[in-house]
């Protein structure tokens, strides 16, 4: 029930934001700031009755806020992106389970060095709203994540190639990365690479952050987001990688069909896997897919 209330609250907040857009648009025209984004509400449903081939009834709802706050004046620029997403799914025989849960804040401060090159300072923060579980075949569940468990903060100086708001790559050869695990049980278990009992892990290395968005057709766009991190202090060859690909298909001004996939390879994230009655933790490729049709409001 708490998860459903969270989704309803986020949807209400997005509707309230719609009414304020016209006022914000008037104000931002006279400044160096450019503010734009989109609110997306997706639905996915399947139902079967006396279906010979079989099938399970399922329903999913997702809400995503994706905002950009960009500043540019003289040689200075400051690009900020906020992504907030939450989703729930329900399949026959199971309760409500989340299928999306993220808070992502990106900030890139730049000073122009050449036509497309910038000296930069980069910061990224990521966490989630609610607890996450690994569901077992016997309907039991194991806690594997929680709010601020983990939370990641990455920052450091570097340089960037920025052709436009739709194509940029930032490299930071001296980047700090802090992993926070605020939940006591996860901290005591040493989850996400922390020493058992500690609430944080400090890493120092190099990071790469890339963004590319282009049109596949007049009404279809393809967004790519890539994050890489290598820790100089321990096994620099074990690279953290996070890739997200999103396809947006516009039907009309409000209706869209969206498909998204995210792949994460994190050496510090151990996933419990049970085989032949024995549970062991492994670092596995994490895959998330979301598909649905719904309403998208852009400004």
Encode pLDDT of 145-188 as tens digits.
999 999 999 999 999 999 998 999 999 999 999 999 999 999 99
pLDDT of residue 103: 97
* Spatial CB neighbours of 50, under 8 Å, sequence gap ≥ 6: none
pLDDT of residue 2: 57
Q: Which is nearest to 164 in space by CA: 116, 105, 131, 130?
A: 116
Q: How many Å apart are CA 133 and CA 125, to the nearest integer? A: 22
pLDDT of residue 11: 52
Q: Which is nearest to 182 in space by CA: 209, 148, 228, 205?
A: 148
Residue owning tokens 């309403």: 295
Give the single-character DSSP code of 191. G
39 falls in which pLDDT band (50, 70, 90)?
very high
19 falls in which pLDDT band (50, 70, 90)?
very low
Q: Cβ distance 5 to 13 under 8 Å?
A: no
Q: Average pLDDT of 131-152?
A: 89
Residue owning tokens 């579980």: 133
* Spatial CB neighbours of 5, under 8 Å, sequence gap ≥ 6: none
Q: How many Å apart are CA 33 and CA 67, to the nearest integer? A: 13
Please say if the pLDDT value at position 30 is more than 80.
no
- Of 59 and 275, which is predicted with more confidence? 59
Q: Which is nearest to 290 in space by CA: 81, 127, 64, 82?
A: 64
Q: Look up residue 37 and give its two tokens.
A: 């984004």
Please say if the pLDDT value at position 18 is more than 50.
no
pLDDT of residue 5: 54
Q: How many Å apart are CA 37 and CA 29, to the nearest integer? A: 16
pLDDT of residue 281: 75
Q: Average pLDDT of 245-255?
A: 93
pLDDT of residue 3: 59
Please say if the pLDDT value at position 26 is more than 50.
no
Length of the chain: 299
Q: Look up residue 177 and give its two tokens.
A: 């990365």
Q: How many Å apart are CA 172 and CA 208, to the nearest integer? A: 6
Q: How many Å apart are CA 166 and CA 105, to the nearest integer? A: 17
State pTM to two decimals: 0.86
Q: Which is nearest to 56 in space by CA: 67, 71, 66, 45?
A: 45
- Of 9 and 185, which is predicted with more confidence? 185
**Chain-wide mean pLDDT for the chain?**
88
pLDDT of residue 54: 67
Q: Average pLDDT of 126-138?
A: 89
């Amino acid at each position: 029930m708490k998860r459903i209330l969270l989704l309803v609250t986020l949807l209400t907040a997005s509707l309230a934001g719609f009414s304020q857009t016209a006022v914000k648009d008037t104000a931002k025209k006279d400044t160096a700031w450019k503010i734009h984004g989109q609110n997306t509400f997706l639905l996915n449903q399947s139902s079967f009755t006396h279906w010979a081939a079989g099938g399970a009834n399922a329903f999913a709802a997702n809400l995503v806020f994706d905002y950009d706050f960009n500043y540019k004046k003289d040689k200075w620029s400051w690009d900020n992106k906020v992504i907030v997403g939450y989703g729930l799914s329900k399949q026959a025989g199971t309760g409500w389970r989340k299928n999306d849960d993220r808070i992502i804040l990106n900030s890139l401060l730049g000073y122009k060095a050449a036509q497309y090159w910038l000296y930069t300072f980069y910061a990224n923060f990521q966490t989630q709203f609610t607890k996450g579980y690994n569901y077992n075949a016997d309907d039991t569940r194991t806690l594997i994540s929680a709010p601020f468990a983990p939370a990641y903060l990455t920052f450091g100086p570097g340089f960037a190639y920025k052709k436009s708001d739709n194509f940029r790559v930032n490299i930071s050869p001296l980047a700090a990365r802090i992993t926070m695990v605020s939940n006591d049980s996860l901290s005591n278990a040493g989850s996400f690479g922390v020493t058992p009992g500690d609430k944080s892990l400090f890493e120092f290395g190099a990071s790469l952050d890339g963004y590319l968005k282009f049109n596949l057709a007049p009404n279809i766009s393809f967004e790519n987001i890539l994050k890489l991190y290598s820790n100089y202090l321990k096994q620099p060859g074990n690279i953290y990688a996070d890739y997200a690909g999103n396809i947006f298909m516009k039907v009309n001004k409000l209706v869209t069909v969206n498909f998204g996939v995210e792949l994460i390879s994190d050496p510090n994230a151990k996933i419990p896997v049970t085989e032949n009655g024995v549970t062991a933790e492994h670092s596995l490729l994490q895959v998330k897919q979301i598909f649905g049709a719904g309403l998208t409001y852009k400004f």
